Amino acid sequence: MNRIWPKKETLVEKALSLDVPAEARVVDLGTGTGAIGVSLALARPDWHVTLVDLSEAALQVAADNAHRLGAAVTCLQGSWLSPCPGPFDLIVSNPPYIDPQDAHLEQGDLRFEPRSALAANDHGLADLRVIAAQAHDTLAPGGWLVLEHGFDQGGAVRTLLGERGFQDVTTRQDLEGRDRVTLGHV
């Protein structure tokens, strides 16, 4: 938790720059260790941040990290937005987005990560598609969805958000100059 990876830093910085209420309701879907949600809670103590993960073990790590760092968060176990009906002013997520057939899953540090935290069907877009569908009806008017994705998925994610009726859909590059975060609002 001492370092945010470059692609997560892009997501956190973009989320912090958005025009949301001072006491925004925020949810981090698929929180894992809590790096994104805890960073947001620490940067904006007035925000009401909820961390959601399907994995009970991952959620415990996120809760422990939040406690250790002094971040006030709520932790809920479940699949994407199912445990928390909203409305939310901001939804952020770094979901699984790697194609299950991608050779990179067998290389480097990725070999040791839970496959369910990395890979998604439909060329890595399945979970992004579910989140976009759920988020549109769960965001407050003017609320934002901010999604991390693979460097080659920007166009596909913009299309997903556009098809769901999101406005001002844009993709931001990470510190390495690669498309990494796509966002839009309702």
Is the pLDDT score of 134 beyond 90? yes
Nearest to 148 by CA among 185, 93, 100: 93
Q: At residue 3, does pLDDT exceed 50?
A: no
Which alpha helices (DSSP H) does the chain contain, by range? 6-17, 35-43, 56-69, 126-138, 154-163
Average pLDDT for the chain: 90
Q: Are 80 and 29 in contact (CB under 8 A)?
A: yes
* pLDDT greater than 80 at residue 85: yes
What pLDDT was estimated at residue 109?
76
42 pLDDT higher than 70: yes
Task: Give the model confidence (pLDDT) of 135-166 as tens digits.
Answer: 999 999 999 999 999 999 999 999 999 999 99
Give me the pLDDT at residue 8, please. 66
Instruction: Return the SS3 of 26.
Output: strand
Q: What would the mean pLDDT of 109-137 be, rounded to a whole number? A: 83
State the Cα–Cα distance between residues 81 and 18, nearest whole angstrom.
21
Measure the CA–CA gap between 11 and 55, rounded to whole angstroms: 22
Predicted local confidence at residue 157, as pLDDT:
97
**In the predicted structure, residue 133 carries a pLDDT above the cut 90:** yes
Residue owning tokens 């909820």: 50
Q: pLDDT band for position 107 (50/70/90)?
A: confident
pLDDT over 80 (residue 72): yes
Give the predicted TM-score (pTM) of the model.
Answer: 0.91
pLDDT in the model for residue 69? 96
53: pLDDT strictly greater than 70: yes
Predicted local confidence at residue 6, as pLDDT: 43
Is the N-terminal amide bond of 100 cis, ω within 30° of 0? no
**pLDDT on residue 117:** 73
Helices (H) and strands (E) in the chain, counts: 5, 7
Q: What is the residue type of 56?
A: E
Whether residue 108 has pLDDT greater than 90: no
Residues 6+ apart with CB under 8 A from 103: none
Report helix, strand or coil for 181.
Answer: strand
Residue 1 has pLDDT above 60, yes or no: no
